[in-house]
Chains A and B, each alone.
Chain A
Amino acid sequence: MGLEEAIRSGKFIVTAEICPPKGTDISGFFSEAALLQGIVDAVNVTDCPRAMVRMSPLVFSNELIKINIDTIMHLTCRDRNRIAIQSDLLAAHALGVRNVLAMSGDFTTMGDHPYAKPVFDLDSVQMLQVINKMNSGFDLMDNPLEGATSLYAGAVVNPGTRPLGFARIKLQKKISAGARFIQTQAVFDADLFNEFMDEFKSVNIPVIAGIIPLRSAKSTGFMIENIPGVKIPQAAVNRMESASDPVTEGLKIAAETIDRIRENCQGVHIMPIGKHDHTKRLLEMCSLL
């Protein structure tokens, strides 16, 4: 069952994220994929996250599809103008990608090529409009396509963002532009997430909540300092600092968060720091396996 069908069935969705390699060696990434095979509904393939050069998500998504893993290909507005975006969307369809997550992308200066020219020809709302148009058989300029795409478009929101005024407007724009599902940035504070979802109760779109299991006190501190929009409650920071087995403690915190938000969303999206060696354990801890 593909992601769209799974979401439509109403089941609680589990997705997980893999970052393509920095280099040409994809062998290690297949072992990551093997850890996820059969335990998630789809695997998100990131698009040079934090503006670090890595293998194209298009090519890597195709590698996963070849081994029967449904993928959600990330596509950012950072590195492509509207011509390249449409070209990549056509290529994605041709390579069997059916789910695309449209996003602005982390800014260039945050990554390993800070001198790069930031493109941002389209924004994420406009990218969703483009996907919608291509699904109906036309490009952005209304030229007919020889064969329409059939892409299931997703969008991102940050449920920790405050104030909510503009977040509400932008989410509505994304839905009107053709977003069919939402994946959120990492949720550490269940109260903030639930408050956000209460606010958006009337918005009828499946929301898959992002979860990052904390791994150590050090990496927790790094995330607070370096990942935009991440809000980790002090209680969780304290638990990580005093834990004798920080990996297990991080999984416990993640499982507790999932338990507290699961009534308010249609799925969770697991984004570990590093590898997926504990993803299965986390899903078992919250009875998702």
Chain B
Amino acid sequence: MIVTRSKPIEEIMDQIDPIMDRKICVIGCSLCAGKLKTGGEPEVKNMISQLRDKRANVIDGVVLKHACSIESWESLIKEQPVISDAEVLLVMSCGIGVSLLGRLCDKIVIPALDTVSLGAALNDEILLEMCSMCGQCTTGFFSGLCPKSGCPKSQLNGPCGGSNDGECEVRDRKCIWTMIYEAMEAKNMLSMLNETLPPTEYNRRL
């Protein structure tokens, strides 16, 4: 799941203000943003009313099934004709949906959300920083847990000095290295932690 947060309305208005009179369509996404309540049906409706209160020329809003995966621009406007009438698309999806629409159409595309993390949905709980897309997965050394994303300092060889009583000094949560140690101990794999891992090969991302 791509984790998004709503931008402050003031930040969105800074971009909308100069083009207030143009026809605006608000686009949500039912996949991750819908689940996270940052870009589903209720949020799109709420955004439309906020923009109209500020006298923006909103013509409509639609919620796409998945803004990150679109067959073609033609199929999209066939399904949602109102999009083709708009001059401005205010997109309430993750950055992928925004980028895709930006590439596909000749309309002005503005993001309404910030994309912050690759997370997971576990029942009602959202787990953040599950993967950092480093391009060289090392989780096999940690029985599936990812220190590159779970540790703010991206440590690969153990906790930093700020991990204390099992807590992370940066974020108010358990240190990922405590979780790794406990998991490896329970799985009788502690000796694997003695291995020093080399620096990540970031060229693998290219």
Contact = CB atoms under 8 A, between A and B. Distances in A.
A129 B197 CA distance: 11
A123 B169 CA distance: 16
Interface in B20-65: none
Of listed B156, B164, B165, residue having the most chain A CB within 10 A? B164
B103 interface: no
Contacts of A23: none
A109 B170 CA distance: 8
A106 B162 CA distance: 8
B198 A126 contact: yes
B169 A169 contact: no
B156 A123 contact: yes
B78 interface: no
Interface stretch (B85-93, B108-116, B147-155): B147-155
A122 B199 contact: yes
B169 A125 contact: no
Q: Is the interface of B mostly helix, strand, loop or mixed?
A: loop
Contact of B153 (A123, A170, A176, A185): A123
B183 to A, nearest CB: 12
A166 interface: yes
A94 B202 CA distance: 29
Interface of A: 77-78, 82, 103-107, 109-110, 118, 120-126, 129, 140, 156-158, 160-163, 165-167, 169-170, 172-173, 176-177, 185, 228-229, 231
Nearest to B169: A228
B155 A120 contact: yes
A57 to B, nearest CB: 18
Contact of A129 (B165, B169, B177, B196): B196
25 contacts: A106-B162, A107-B152, A107-B162, A107-B169, A107-B170, A118-B152, A123-B154, A124-B155, A156-B161, A158-B162, A158-B164, A160-B164, A161-B163, A161-B164, A162-B165, A166-B158, A169-B194, A170-B157, A173-B158, A176-B196, A177-B196, A228-B161, A228-B164, A229-B161, A229-B162
Contacts of B178: 163, 166
A173 B194 contact: yes
A46 B201 CA distance: 29
A117 B183 CA distance: 30
A123 B157 contact: yes
A123 B155 contact: yes
Contacts of B165: 162
A170 B158 contact: yes
Contacts of B154: 118, 120, 123
Nearest to B154: A120
Q: What 3 A-B pairs have minimum CB-CB distances, sorted nearest first?
A: A170-B158, A228-B169, A228-B162
B141 interface: no
Nearest to A158: B161
A166 B161 contact: no
